[in-house]
Structure 1
Amino acid sequence: MYQLSCLKADLSGQYGRFVSVLLKNRSERQVTQTGGALTVVPDSVIAQRLNAFVAICLCMDDTVRVVVETDDGETELTVQRGRTLRDVLREAGHSPYTALTERANCGGRGLCATCGVRLETEVAPDHWHDELAERFGYPRLSCQVTVDRDLRVRLVDDKLVWGGRE
């Protein structure tokens, strides 16, 4: 019997989506879920297909490294995988907002475009705004970036409300 205990109770991110599909297609004897742990009976076809997934999952750390570049230098953060970049930056004291937009913003819903940052690590856009921003050289919305791997981020210091083209 395998127990995938690295899957936390929230089962977020790519592993959560995988587990959701797996649980939808399960028979009661093959796959069970208790809290954040997934148990798979080894003689099932599903368990045989999970061998590689189990190896990756058990070796995977739930934290990632985010390097924040500012005019004052770099700060390295260790953060929980699956969080939004906006929240990570704000909690670490590196707000993506300006003094004007710190209070006048959409709260991370991707509507106001005031939390723009430059991603030095390539991250595929998940939001229509970020696709256009990437194409035309504008900052990416930190509220629309999920931290699921190591990232290098540069804060946009020269913006009044929104960041300009690069």
Structure 2
Amino acid sequence: MPQIQVQDRTLSCAEGANLRQVLLQEGVQLYNPPAHIVNCHGLGTCGTCAVQIEGEVSPMGWRERTRLSLPPHQLSKGLRLACQVQVFGDLKVTKWLGMWGEKLPAAPPA
């Protein structure tokens, strides 16, 4: 079973599970305000479930690529939409700042 490290927690899920569904079922705060109220509920059209992922996941499809090509996102940032991602191995997931999760978090003080 893949392990997901997110927000100082470690979760387990079945291989092939949808990342958004796993995070929400485990009570992870996936959406930044006000996106927790206004989002597309997993259709891949709003872009508010964008996360940074390290690990083995499904390849990016056309819907996800299209949404992440539109402002405020940029494909070059390397984010993924949790609603479009299937988990295939252990992951580290980081939620960035901003309504769409597009703003890099501040570096911790040295």
TM-score under structure 2 length normalisation: 0.74
The number of equivalent residue pairs is: 99
Q: CA RMSD in A?
A: 2.5
Instruction: State the 1:122 CA deviation.
Output: 5.4
Instruction: State the 1:136 CA deviation.
Output: 1.1
**What percentage of residue pairs aligned between the two structures are identical?**
31
Which residue does 2:92 correspond to in 1?
152
Which protein has the bigger helix share?
1
Cα distance, 1:78–1:123 mapped onto 2, change above 3 Å? closer
Is contact 1:136–1:165 with CA below 8 Å preserved after alignment? no
Cα distance, 1:79–1:139 mapped onto 2, change above 3 Å? same
The one-character-per-residue Cα deviations of 1:18-71 (angstroms, maximum 9, x if unpaired) are xxxxxxxxxxxxxxxxxxxxxxxxxxxxxxxxxxxxxxxxxxxxx211111x3x
Give the letter aligned to residue 98 of structure 1: N
The structure having more radius of gyration, on CA atoms, is 1
Structure 2 distance, partners of 1:141, 1:75, is 20
TM-score under structure 1 length normalisation: 0.51
Structure 1 distance, partners of 2:100, 2:49, is 9
Structure 1 distance, partners of 2:80, 2:22, is 15
Structure 1 distance, partners of 2:3, 2:86, is 13
Instruction: State the 1:161 CA deviation.
Output: 3.3
Cα distance, 1:159–1:122 mapped onto 2, change above 3 Å? farther
1:82 aligned onto 2:16:
yes
Which residue does 1:139 correspond to in 2?
79
Structure 2 residues without counterparts, runs of 5 or longer: 106-110
